[in-house]
Amino acid sequence: MDASILLIGGDDFLSTLLDRVHNLLNCAVEVASNPGEAVPLIQAQQPDLIILEENQLGSLKLCCEIKEQAKLAWIYCILIETPAQVLDEPWLDYIWDLESKTIALEGGADAYLRLPLERTDGKPLSPEILAKQDQLLRSQILVGLRTVKNHRELMRTNDILSAIALSDPLTELNNRRALDWELPRQIQNARTRSEVLSLVMLDVDYFKRINDLYGHPVGDRALQLVSSRLRHNLRFRDTLFRYGGEEFVIILSNTDQKEALLVARRLCRLIGEQPFDIDSGLELNITISAGTATLDAKDDARGSSLLKRADRNLLRAKSSGRNRVVGSIDALQDMDSE
């Protein structure tokens, strides 16, 4: 079975449970002598299931702490009590079991088992009773592993759905929804680290003419090829998004105004200098226009004002002849000359 289990307890508990678990299931089993020793193992290895000795100090607290951490809360915690004997009166033993189970479950454990080691008279438990205990232990472990498996499958499904929701199906780039999520995060990082941040907003020139002359399938193919050329000519730290239609946005981390202009002009040249081979009988010469903007202290945390400045500069580039870049520096110079 492809699963991992961590046993936490004293020497007697570990020696007893380790053999029993190995005999019941073919799993990878790690051990820790106390909750403090277990914490770094849990953080690093994230086992599927944890079995803790109930009467060890800190066991229930560890269960609670695991459940309070989103990245660990899926780990299944079984608290096991191994009293030396059952109580003299069966009804007292039953009440004790109910009270202990209630405390364990309310305290953060997913399951509680009480597995006495011997009879009231001090004699060993019969093989039949031990076999029933092992059946119960195995069943509880399997319940935990099924729960963890279902959680992981759900997380994988959510990851796939999130990837689909944040991806543009035509170009396979991040889409506008992804930009709405990523830009505020990068703005916060830039301000926390006192770094610069810039945007490039670009647009395929006369794209409507391509659709009108050759049809939408050719337009779609042109967008795919433009996207690919842009993606393969960006720096490692740059993030490209399809903003909508024939518009794209690039987040340039740790990039100031002058560097943003250089990046955008280089991309402009790379798009315009070589025709795009749409199919064996059609080549298109395509150019782009771009506007850049750099984060300043007055920009809002979501990046709306930063995007607006980049868009405004893109419109200036298009109105001044297309196939060119206008940045914040250029826009300021234009305003001064006016």
Q: 3-class DSSP state for residue 330? A: helix
CA distances for 133 relative to 82, 110, 136, angstroms: 11, 18, 5
Tokens standing for residue 321:
């002849």
Q: Which of 53, 246, 273, 338 is catalytic?
A: 246
CA distances, 168 to each of 164, 165, 176 (Å): 8, 8, 8
CA angle, corner 164, sides to 161 and 167, nearest 5?
Answer: 150
CA-based diameter of the chain, in Å?
102
Phi and psi at residue 103, in whole multiples of 5°? -60, -45
**Per DSSP, which regions of 136-232 are E strands?**
197-204
What six digits make up the tokens of 257?
A: 């105004």
Is residue 81 annotated as a catalytic residue, yes or no? no
One-letter amino acid at 166 equals: L
Q: At what angle do helices 257-272 and 328-337 cross, to 10 degrees?
A: 100
Q: Which residues are catalytic?
A: 246
